[in-house]
Amino acid sequence: MREPARLGRTRLPDGRYLGWAEWGPADGTPVLLCPGAATSRWLAFGGDAVDTFGVRLVSVDRPGLGASDPAPGRTLSSWATDLRHLIQDRVLHAPSVVGFSQGAPFALALAADGLVKAVAVVSGSDELAHPRFAHSLTPQVRAMVDAVAADPDAATASFADFGSADALWDLVITTSPEADRAVYTDPVFRQAFRRAMDEAFSQGPAGYARDTVLAMARWPFDLAGITVPIDLWYGQHDTSPVHSPDLGASLVGMLPTATRHLLPDAAGSLLWTHTEAVLRTLLDHAR
């Protein structure tokens, strides 16, 4: 875990600002990061590897989280519009993207809009509202998905009532296997993780709540229409009920250009435990 090399905000055409943080060489191969739920631009990955691989890693706060202004009624499609401007403004030529956990649909939205050269979905949330998961979700997750489908506004309010840095930290720790808890509770990592969560909720819980509704609704793009290379990374020991229920087994069939990597020695924290494999594979597509 390292401090960002560069930190800033980019003004969008409608006057809003998007907050971002960068690691690695300014002239490196650009890789966008869509962080997981309830975190912000402060939680990156790679450490020294971003320099070793020559990666310019750019983590972006979604609207309403961290340093990014709210965008009432935002969608996965409007996220792609925002990132199109950021890519142009920051001169990120032909970037790739990593979507971790709940960041997965946001990363795939960029691919569906033709904005990125390759995608790495790491311990990613799947399209939980898709009929293929009608009978495989846990009761709690099924209730959340059904609530979003029935009344998105009421579901947003419910998620906001629950959402806080402390509540989400407790949820992560109590639902994670020992392999993940060992990563997340490491003193250095824990400090970075908690700072990222605290900043994510600096404007309140509305940004987190909107993210959750968008992730748990049907996604407004055709997975089969994505043509760039996609790598799906899952750990065999990942027990999160809001990642992919089948660890990407059916998702790879929905994505014609996808390759699934199921790591027998990994869990949900593989973005940090298997960083080099993820980056090396992504860069093989991007260069």
Q: DSSP readout, 16-60?
A: -EEEEEEES-TTSEEEEEE--TT--TT----TTHHHHTTEEEEEE
pLDDT for 206-220, tens place per residue?
Answer: 999 999 999 999 999
pLDDT of residue 282: 97
pLDDT of residue 1: 80
Q: Is 256 helix (H, G, I), strand (E, B) or coil?
A: coil
pLDDT for 117-151, tens place per residue?
Answer: 999 999 999 999 999 999 999 999 999 999 999 99
pLDDT-derived band at 26 (thresholds 50, 70, 90) equals very high
Q: What is the distance between the alpha carbons of residues 269 and 287, in angstroms, rounded to a whole number? A: 26
Average pLDDT over residues 33-41: 96
pLDDT of residue 47: 87
Count the Cβ atoms, other than its own, within 10 Å of residue 195.
16
The alpha carbons of the chain give a radius of gyration, in whole angstroms, of 17
- Output the pTM of the full model: 0.97
pLDDT of residue 237: 97
pLDDT at 287 over 80: no
From residue 225, how far is each of 87, 110, 197, 220, 229 by CA, in Å? Answer: 22, 12, 34, 12, 12
pLDDT of residue 286: 81
pLDDT of residue 95: 98
Q: Is 212 helix (H, G, I), strand (E, B) or coil?
A: helix
Q: Is 192 helix (H, G, I), strand (E, B) or coil?
A: helix
pLDDT of residue 175: 87
pLDDT for 197-208, tens place per residue?
Answer: 999 999 999 999
Average pLDDT over residues 103-109: 98
Closest C-alpha among 202, 187, 216 to residue 61: 202
Question: Considering the chain, what percentage of its residues have pLDDT values greater than 90?
Answer: 95
From residue 145, how far is each of 133, 161, 209, 243 by CA, in Å? Answer: 11, 17, 13, 13
